[in-house]
Amino acid sequence: MTSTGMATELAAIDAVGQAELVRSGEVTPVELVEAAIERIERLNPTLNAVITPIFDRAREGAAKLPARGGDAPLAGVPFLAKDLVVDIEGVRFCEGSRFLRDHMSSYTSELALRWQRAGLMVLGKTNTPEFGMSPTCEPALFGATANPWDVTRSTSGSSGGSAAAVASGMVPAAHANDLGGSIRYPASNCGLFGLKPTRARNPLGPEYGDAASGWACEHAVTRTVRDSAAILDATAGPAVGDPYWAPPPARPFSDEVGADPGRLRIGFTSRTPDGTPGHPDCVAALENAVALCAELGHELVEADMPGLTPEAGDSIGTVFNAATSWILRYWVARLGREPGEDELEPLTRVYWEMGERVTAGEYLVAIEVLQRFARGVAGFLTDVDVWLTPTMSLPPLPLGEMVSTPDEPLRSMHKSAPSVRYAGVIANITGNPAMSVPLHWNQDGLPIGVHFLGRFGDEATLFRLASQLEAARPWADRVPPVSAR
């Protein structure tokens, strides 16, 4: 077994760094895996981030790799898969729902196959709210995931288990996905870098094509910018039969890390789309980021995004409700039965009922409204290179505050709405890449990210800017109270 000392030492090294250790022969893939298992077993009882460990499977995979990793770019690097959307054959797949508590995946998703080819060692599945719908990671099936920065606080959702695992140092990086902010919100709450790629940058097959009207996308949460770029290099690109492709990058994303972004024109605002002010801590995060970007030579212009009108807001609700209906219909067909009364959480059941009432015409009208909105966003981004806001409009909320009940089935959304007023969902509607960057911690020691929205297909600019910010104000060495480091 790997010693605690070695496990702690490796916890401070990012994914790219761990892969370099394997290539140099300083450690073996098996040693990396054993060290990560030790960290998970030590921290998970406190955080509840990993809900389905597959340690022996990872050990077997690591043992099959060449001692120096061969050609795999991330050979032996420990990784975790969020228990949502992505299947791994023979592994429990619950999507946070009691309806799926005994379901086992019968195939492996294309994205997971690409992880395997890159040499990533998947050690288990991470916690997620039921079907990824809630903005906090507190499913009835597995219980709450705690934030490593304050175990009484939410990680946000829906990639909360992955974010807690990476922030605490269990693994250097973990899978995350994003239908309305679910990569970026947990990254903000947990002090991580979280990039939502361009629509269709990563594959959703073989089971899904245009998931949730094109809003859903796959990637990861990481401590460092270069890890995010390296993982995206390993996974990006269309699969056979994908309904559409993202514009291919001019060069590997890893080549953008450390490259000069040039003098960018950065639009920014502290105003939320509905005009309400953000929390002072979130506004302070924005102001600090604006000052830093100016110091780095960028042009900063105060600019509000074309408004999310009431019509657009209603259309977002229509599409989200329809997506819930699609998810439940998919699983009813796949399992061959309806969920029992105690197998769905109150929030899910209400959204399902609302989704079943959406007509085809209403759905298509909503899509048209949001496509017009997306054209406005694209026009706005011809005047600025990126748009900067706080990621969240409140610091991390207490656990339990956003949990729905039978008496208050929409409590989760009502309580969380004030925290997501900056509308991370804009990037899902438009398909644009966006990132949360951990540049600020408040007086309580809680991380608060800032959010950059980029042009469609232009992750390159975001990676260049993020790596410049990371060099100017490093964050990876910040250690939360619950940590393997």
The pTM (predicted TM-score) of the whole model is 0.98
Instruction: Tell me if residue 158 is catalytic.
Output: yes
Beta bridge pairs of residue 453: 387, 434
Of the candidates 97, 134, 154, 158, the residue annotated as catalytic is 158
- Residue pair 49/162 in contact (Cβ under 8 Å)? The answer is yes
More confident residue, 176 or 212: 176
Q: Give tens-digit pLDDT for 332-380.
A: 999 999 999 999 999 999 999 999 999 999 999 999 999 999 999 999 9
Q: Give tens-digit pLDDT for 138-190.
A: 999 999 999 999 999 999 999 999 999 999 999 999 999 999 999 999 999 99
Q: Report residue 185: phi and psi, to 5°.
A: -65, -50
Q: Give tens-digit pLDDT for 394-416.
A: 999 999 999 999 999 888 887 77
Q: Give tens-digit pLDDT for 23-33.
A: 999 999 999 99
- Residue 419: its pLDDT value, please? 72
Instruction: Tell me if residue 182 is catalytic.
Output: yes
C-alpha torsion 281→260→386→269, nearest 10: 30
- Residue 127: its pLDDT value, please? 99
d(CA 121, CA 140): 28
Provide the 3-class DSSP secondary structure of residue 150: strand
- Residue 308: its pLDDT value, please? 79
The answer on pLDDT for 2 being more than 80 is: no
The answer on pLDDT for 478 being more than 70 is: yes
Instruction: Tell me if residue 325 is catalytic.
Output: no
- Residue 410: its pLDDT value, please? 86
Q: Which residue type occupies 408? A: E
* Tokens encoding 65: 């790799």
- Residue 418: its pLDDT value, please? 73
Q: Which residue type occupies 162? A: S
Q: Give tens-digit pLDDT for 84-125.
A: 999 999 999 999 999 999 999 999 999 999 999 999 999 999
The DSSP element (H or E) to which 430 belongs, if any, is helix 425-430
Q: Which pLDDT band, with edges at 50, 70 and 90, does 421 fall under?
A: confident
Q: Give tens-digit pLDDT for 105-114.
A: 999 999 999 9
Is the Cα dihedral 46, 52, 56, 58 positive or negative? negative
d(CA 120, CA 113): 10
Q: Give tens-digit pLDDT for 41-78.
A: 999 999 999 999 999 999 999 999 998 999 999 999 99
What one-character DSSP code corresponds to residue 212?
G
d(CA 173, CA 1): 22
d(CA 135, CA 278): 17
Q: Give tens-digit pLDDT for 272-309.
A: 887 888 899 999 999 999 999 999 999 999 999 877 78
Provide the 3-class DSSP secondary structure of residue 309: coil
- Residue pair 476/224 in contact (Cβ under 8 Å)? The answer is yes
CATH class of 4-472: alpha beta
Cα angle, residue 407 at apex, residues 402 and 411 outer, rounded to 5°: 25
Q: Which pLDDT band, with edges at 50, 70 and 90, does 1 fall under?
A: very low
Give the burial string for 421-442 (b: 16+ CB within 10 Å, else e): bbbbbbbbbbbbbbbbbbbbbb
Q: Give tens-digit pLDDT for 246-260.
A: 999 999 999 999 999
Of the candidates 134, 154, 182, 393, the residue annotated as catalytic is 182
Percent of residues in the chain assigned helix, strand, coil, to nearest 5: 40, 15, 45
| Listed residue (203, 208, 239) closest to 218, CA to CA | 203
Q: Which pLDDT band, with edges at 50, 70 and 90, does 211 fall under?
A: confident
- Residue pair 33/58 in contact (Cβ under 8 Å)? The answer is yes
- Residue pair 231/265 in contact (Cβ under 8 Å)? The answer is no
DSSP string, 95-145: TT-GGGTT-B-SS--HHHHHHHHHT-EEEEEE---GGG-SSS---TTT-PP
The answer on pLDDT for 433 being more than 90 is: yes
The answer on pLDDT for 420 being more than 90 is: no
Q: Give tens-digit pLDDT for 216-247.
A: 999 999 999 999 999 999 999 999 999 999 99
